[in-house]
Amino acid sequence: MSDLTICTIIAKNYIAFARALCASFLRHHPEGHCHVLIIDDYQGYIDPAEEAFEIVGIKALGIADLEKFCFRYNVIELATACKPFLLDYLLAHGSGGKVLYIDPDILVTGPLDNLYDMLEGSDIIVTPHLDQDYPDDGLKPDDSIVMTHGIFNLGFIGLKKCANTLRFLKWWQEKLYYKCLIDYKRGYFVDQKFMDLAVTLFRNITIVIEPGYNVSYWNLHSRKIGWVGDEWKCNDNRLYLYHFSNYKPENPDVISAYQNRFSLADMPDLKKIYYGYAGIVKDNDYFSTRKWPYTYNSFSNGEPINDPIRKLYRTNRRLQEISDPFDIRNYHTGYRIRFKLLRLYKGCTKFILRHI
């Protein structure tokens, strides 16, 4: 298999983004290889033979008690929790010894040879959210994004197969098996803040500080994006990875709901890359595929599973003993009543969890 390997993770309704990512990578690396982990059931929706990438099913990862693992997390948490398991799987099954994980909502705008070259001397490479602090002007994002979400953005990580990396992956798997949560009060934001610990616990980790990698709304204050000649530039050098985090192609003028620093109306080159990306994603059947159902959003009888129900499950030992938590027949009447209340009275979640 080619040394030029990337991977990403989606639920099936995010297939348009994965297609855009892989096509952009193969444009710069036609000899490369792409793997897409689809975390839910895609049979009848996606024909693997028609895709430009190899599909990996979640069962191939060998995750223990898979049904319980899938039940305790929402779709964002589950997709993220699978990351170290997918990377371990690819390194064990012939990725050429190197693999780059890239979020599906990233566009490859230049060749990534430098990243693969970095993995000759480094075991792990990561990108920070920032290379320059924000002005203290009351606009968003500000330094709270780093304090809350971690120093590094794990929309990208590169790994080389070696003893150090395998130890790191085992540690990361153990952390994300139960703690891949969006739980700000407890200090968790899926996988990212664990990397803050990893840089002190593991060796030979390189922080990629070149501004052209993993550019997004959180670091646009220190990056100037422009189209020059026939390529995208970042601060007068090549742009390689642009991360369209929280971008909605159906609302193409809004960079992200989490920022108010920049407007596409005032930045014509930035508008060009966002509009271009929206067009690419739409051309990959975005409007039809985004409506595909998420397998793990409901019980066996079709009743929906929301975040409060998942939280009840994570905090209740008796529920965790159930072999298949998706099968509604495994719950007695009292728990079914709790589930209905947690769906109906979202504002009373804490009271219900404590008293019902």
Mind listing the pLDDT tens digit for each residue in 228-276? 989 999 998 999 999 999 999 999 999 999 999 999 999 999 999 999 9
Domain end point (choices 211, 244, 260):
211
* Burial degree of 111 (CB within 10 A; 0-12, 13-18, 19+): middle
Is 238 domain-assigned? no
Is 87 domain-assigned? yes
Domain end point (choices 192, 211, 230):
211
User: Is 304 in the same domain as 202?
Assistant: no
Is 59 domain-assigned? yes
Write the CB contacts of 37 (distance below 8 Å, at least 6 apart in sequence). Answer: 7, 8, 9, 10, 55, 56, 57, 58, 61, 82, 86
Is 275 domain-assigned? no
User: Is 200 in the same domain as 323?
Assistant: no
Largest CA distance in the chain: 67
Residue 111: in which H helix or E strand, if any? none
Give the closest residue to 103 by CA, choosing from 211, 316, 246. 246
Cα 118 from chain centroid? 22
User: Is 302 in the same domain as 196?
Assistant: no
User: Is 71 in the same domain as 185?
Assistant: yes
> CB of 256 within 8 A of CB of 267?
no
Q: What is the pLDDT of residue 1?
A: 41
Is 267 domain-assigned? no
User: Is 56 in the same domain as 198?
Assistant: yes
Q: What is the pLDDT of residue 2?
A: 55
User: Is 202 in the same domain as 328?
Assistant: no
* Burial degree of 244 (CB within 10 A; 0-12, 13-18, 19+): buried
User: Is 179 in the same domain as 313?
Assistant: no
Q: What is the pLDDT of residue 356?
A: 47
User: Is 11 in the same domain as 154?
Assistant: yes
Domain end point (choices 211, 230, 253):
211
Low-confidence ranges of the chain (pLDDT < 70): 1-2, 94-95, 346-356
Complete DSSP assignment for 219-232: TGGG--EEEETTEE
The CATH number linked to 89 is: 3.90.550.10
Q: Which residues pair with 243 in a beta bridge?
A: 106
Give the closest residue to 217 by CA, choosing from 150, 158, 130. 130
Is 337 domain-assigned? yes
Which residue range is the domain that position 68 belongs to? 5-211
Total domains present in the chain: 2
Is 272 domain-assigned? no
User: Is 207 in the same domain as 101?
Assistant: yes
Please report how many Cα atoms fall inside a 13 Å half-sphere around the Cα of residue 88, on the Cβ side: 21
User: Is 193 in the same domain as 313?
Assistant: no
As a whole number of angstroms, the distance between CA 182 and CA 66 comes to 20
Q: What is the pLDDT of residue 284?
A: 98
Give the closest residue to 214 by CA, choosing from 327, 110, 322. 110
Helix locations, the chain, DSSP H: 15-28, 66-71, 75-81, 83-92, 113-121, 144-149, 163-179, 192-201, 268-283, 286-289, 307-315, 317-320, 333-344, 349-355
User: Is 314 in the same domain as 177?
Assistant: no
pTM for this entry: 0.94
- CA 192, 197, 202 angle in degrees (round to 5)? 115
User: Is 303 in the same domain as 176?
Assistant: no
3-class DSSP state of 336: helix
> CB of 265 within 8 A of CB of 145?
no
Is 241 domain-assigned? no
Q: What is the pLDDT of residue 355?
A: 47
